[in-house]
Copies of this chain bind each other. A is one copy, B any other.
Amino acid sequence: MRDEATAFVPGHITGFFSTHPHEDPTKAGSRGAGLTLTDGVTVTVEPAPESTVVLDGDRLEIDPVTTVLETLDVTARVEAESALPLGSGFGVSGAMTLGTALAANAVFERTLSTNELVTIAHGAEVQAGTGLGDVVAQAHGGIPIRLEPGGPHENVLDAIPARARVEYVSFGELSTADVLSGETDQLTVAGREALSRVVEEPTLPSFIYASRLFARETGLLTDQVREGIEAVAGVGGQASMAMLGETVFAFGTGLSDAGYDPSVCSTHPAGAVLQ
């Protein structure tokens, strides 16, 4: 057994999605597309007599992290540092869950493969209702297109072959669990339309256009987010809303040009990695 292991998991902004429930959480998930980010979460796991989870110095409960530790049959201290806020559409819970799986496998020498670890993390997120597609996107890196839902043994992924500077501003939290437990019919229709647009033309302009239409048609846009997107459009930029958070993201210098003081990062070329 090693003393500790650390994994870095990129953040993930979902531009649009449709939900695909299944009684087996490793087969459930979402279709959609998003951006993985150089801003992400660093997760360190070390063996401990009982399991605890700490995020940026605060102890908290994150159900899928607990599930991963239980599935791997270990007790550990999980310490995460995040460049991104929790609950704001950046996949922080997915990052903590996947990072815990990768680091715990290394520390406790569980000899599982990458696909097995991603499956465990994805299933734990789906079961907890905290995410449907973040984990598989964060394992992939880049700008993943989720063509078919589920964990790595089930899903089909493609990607937009591009990189981008990304700016974002977050106004607060939205509960993924609340939205996903509500009425999702309109969301499914809008998500399918957006996906078929991006499959037809897998480029950044097509992705952000499809994402913006999705945000409007599903009624998920909040006033502050709408204002942000319009301000970016007003200076000739391209922005949309992070699903699901009260967060605007833009390519290039869209938000700076519109007078905001955004956080700045880039799309992340790699998926989650051990450090």
Binding site for B on A (CB under 8 A): 102, 105-106, 111-115, 117, 141-142, 145, 152, 158-163, 199, 201-203, 269-271, 273-275
Contacts and interface: CB of A to CB of B under 8 A. Distances in A.
A162 B274 contact: yes
B274 A159 contact: no
Contacts of A162: 106, 274
Given A270-B269, A270-B270, A273-B269, A202 B160 contact: no
Copies per assembly:
2
A113 B274 contact: no
Given A102-B161, A113-B202, 8 more contacts: A105-B161, A111-B203, A113-B160, A114-B160, A114-B202, A142-B270, A161-B274, A163-B275
Nearest to A206: B111
B163 A274 contact: yes
Nearest to A115: B158
A112 B273 contact: no
Contacts of A199: 113
Max chain B C-beta neighbours (<10 A), residue from A106, A113, A115: A113
